[in-house]
């Protein structure tokens, strides 16, 4: 069962303000008195209610939705929208890992960095895991501000970290910077993303973490892919594979990314070689899942299937690309099939149908991505879909499905 979107938004809004649940309870009490002229239950009761709301166990009833929107300075309708649901990953009970006492400790440590301890660092890891799965469902845009605020808190703690606590804090700061970089890259803010990846490289180098250094290089390669800069895409992906101490999963990700670079260059044999190499590395990774870092939780054989489909599209092997993209999308967990992440592959599938001269099929598939673009407010996806529609309408202006797609597209700036 998924965590309701509104519950995830409530927690993300509070984290973005760096408030404890007790502080939100106080602000709710003040807002109720000043703006509605009513008295609320005691703060202990409000704190329990907030915990139930943020874990999806109960939904706020009037007047709480209005008061929460007021406290967070957000639109009530957007804050409490019902879809999509946030996926829960098998075997992980996120709601029970992070309790109010841990959260109070984290907030107090942020305000008094000398109170940093191992429990605070662990709590930071749980928050980051939650933010990652929220992003899978809600998209990247809504997390830009909260995660930047959290990163600022983490880096403030890092500045004070010494001795045995500095190494785990460096690792945590690198993970937050990597996630912030991804959010910025995925929302079209490539320059800002590159700055965050520089921090990842700095922190990973200081702590001597080959996995983090490889991640920074690979993500910089991803930026090159976004800009269709084939040279640095291939070179940075190769650099990410160079250290044998890097986990097999990370090397597999870098190998398939390098394969995409060769596909863009029309080098079919090298593309196939690297994709096969990525599969071999994936099998090694499956033998030692405990060796893989937490930030590649999305990695699977399904991911490699989707990536092979994408590479084949670049090579013009459209029939094979369609089959692989359909296979990969069909194998995704139900919750993830409606995510912004999946929508990028849905768009690629629609584009491939268009390349095959199938406007009706392309438009039908693209409509699935349109729904996700609206739900996640994804500007990048909206732009991609608009370009696809322009391509379709240039060749098939009178096809009904193409016209309906144009009417459904999100507005772009």
Domain endpoint, select from 57, 82, 107: 82
Is 407 part of any domain?
Answer: yes
Question: Per the structure, how many domains does the chain have?
Answer: 2
Q: Tell me, what's the pLDDT at 94? A: 37
b/e per residue 364-396 (b: at least 16 CB within 10 A): ebbbbbbebbebbbbbbbbebbbebbebbbeeb
Q: Tell me, what's the pLDDT at 88? A: 38
Is 232 part of any domain?
Answer: no
DSSP for 44-105 reads: HHHHHHHHHHHTTSS---TTHHHHHHHHHT--HHHHT---SPBP--TT--HHHHS-HHHHHH
Q: State which residues form the domain around 45.
A: 1-82
Tally of CA atoms within 13 A in the half-sphere of 47 that contains its CB: 14
Is 183 part of any domain?
Answer: no
Q: Tell me, what's the pLDDT at 86? A: 40
Q: Tell me, what's the pLDDT at 211? A: 96
Residue 332 CA to residue 66 CA, distance in Å, equals 36
Is 287 part of any domain?
Answer: no
The per-residue pLDDT string of the chain (413 residues; one tens digit each, 9 = 90 and over) reads 456 778 877 887 787 676 888 889 999 999 988 888 888 888 888 988 998 898 888 999 988 999 998 998 888 887 887 644 443 333 333 344 445 555 555 555 555 555 677 888 888 888 888 888 888 877 888 888 889 888 988 998 898 888 899 999 999 999 999 999 999 999 989 999 999 999 999 999 999 999 999 999 999 999 999 999 999 999 999 999 999 999 999 999 999 999 999 999 999 999 999 999 999 999 999 898 889 998 888 888 899 999 999 999 999 999 999 999 999 999 988 878 888 889 999 999 999 999 999 999 999 999 999 999 888 888 889 999 999 999 999 999 999 999 999 999 987 65
Radius of gyration of the chain measured on its C-alpha atoms: 23
Look at residues 197, 271, 304 and name the one whose alpha carbon lies nearest to residue 240: 197
46-101 pLDDT, tens digit each: 988 998 898 888 999 988 999 998 998 888 887 887 644 443 333 333 344 445 55
Q: Tell me, what's the pLDDT at 376? A: 83
* Domain at 7, CATH number: 1.10.260
Domain endpoint, select from 66, 82, 98: 82
Q: Tell me, what's the pLDDT at 103? A: 55
Residue 266 CA to residue 286 CA, distance in Å, equals 31
Contact between 110 and 156 under an 8 Å Cβ cutoff? The reply is yes
Is 268 part of any domain?
Answer: no
Q: Tell me, what's the pLDDT at 96? A: 40
Residue 275 in tokens: 């994709």
Q: What average pLDDT does the structure give for the chain?
A: 87
Contact between 196 and 177 under an 8 Å Cβ cutoff? The reply is yes
Is 389 part of any domain?
Answer: yes
Q: Tell me, what's the pLDDT at 151? A: 92
pTM of the predicted protein model: 0.76
Is 354 part of any domain?
Answer: yes
Domain endpoint, select from 32, 67, 82: 82
- Give long-range contacts, CB 8 A cutoff, 24+ apart: 361-367: 362/388, 362/392, 363/392, 363/399, 363/401, 363/402, 363/404, 363/405, 364/401, 366/405, 367/404, 367/405, 367/408
Q: Tell me, what's the pLDDT at 84? A: 47
Is 35 part of any domain?
Answer: yes
List CB contacts of 272: < 8 A, sequence separation 6 or more: 259
């Amino acid at each position: 069962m998924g965590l309701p979107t509104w519950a995830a938004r409530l927690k993300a809004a509070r984290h973005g303000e760096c408030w404890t649940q007790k502080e939100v309870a106080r602000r709710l009490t003040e807002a109720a008195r000043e703006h509605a002229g009513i008295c609320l239950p005691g703060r202990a009761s409000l704190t329990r209610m907030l915990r139930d709301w943020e874990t999806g166990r109960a939904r706020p009833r009037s007047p709480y939705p209005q008061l929460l929107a007021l406290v967070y300075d957000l639109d009530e309708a957007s804050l409490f929208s019902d879809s999509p649901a946030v996926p829960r990953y098998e075997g992980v009970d996120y709601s029970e890992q992070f309790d109010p006492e841990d959260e109070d400790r984290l907030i107090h440590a942020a305000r008094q960095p000398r109170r940093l301890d191992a429990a605070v660092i662990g709590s930071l890891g749980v928050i980051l895991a939650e933010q990652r799965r929220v992003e899978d469902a809600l998209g990247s845009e809504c997390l830009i501000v909260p995660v930047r605020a959290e990163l600022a808190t983490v880096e403030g703690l890092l500045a004070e970290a010494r001795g045995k606590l500095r190494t785990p804090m460096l690792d945590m700061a690198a993970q937050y910077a990597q996630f912030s970089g991804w959010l910025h890259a995925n929302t079209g803010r490539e320059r800002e993303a590159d700055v965050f990846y520089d921090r990842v490289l700095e922190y990973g180098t200081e702590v001597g973490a080959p996995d983090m250094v490889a991640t920074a290089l690979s993500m910089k390669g991803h930026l090159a892919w976004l800009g269709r800069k084939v040279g640095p895409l291939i070179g940075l992906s190769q650099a990410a594979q160079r250290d044998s101490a890097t986990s097999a999963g990370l090397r597999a990700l870098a190998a398939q990314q390098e394969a995409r670079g060769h596909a863009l260059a029309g080098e079919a044999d090298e593309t196939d070689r690297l994709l096969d190499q990525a599969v071999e590395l994936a099998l090694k990774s499956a033998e030692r899942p405990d060796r893989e870092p937490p930030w590649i939780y999305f990695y699977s054989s399904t991911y490699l299937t989707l990536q092979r489909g994408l590479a084949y599209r670049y090579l013009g092997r459209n029939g094979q690309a369609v089959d692989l993209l359909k296979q990969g999308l069909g194998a995704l967990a139900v919750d993830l099939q409606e995510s912004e992440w999946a929508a990028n592959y849905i768009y690629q599938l629609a584009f491939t149908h268009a390349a095959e001269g199938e406007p009706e099929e392309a438009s039908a598939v693209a409509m699935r991505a349109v729904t996700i673009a609206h739900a996640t407010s994804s500007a990048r996806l909206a732009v991609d879909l608009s370009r696809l529609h322009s391509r379709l309408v240039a060749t098939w202006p009178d096809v009904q499905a193409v016209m309906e797609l144009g009417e459904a597209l999100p507005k772009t700036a």
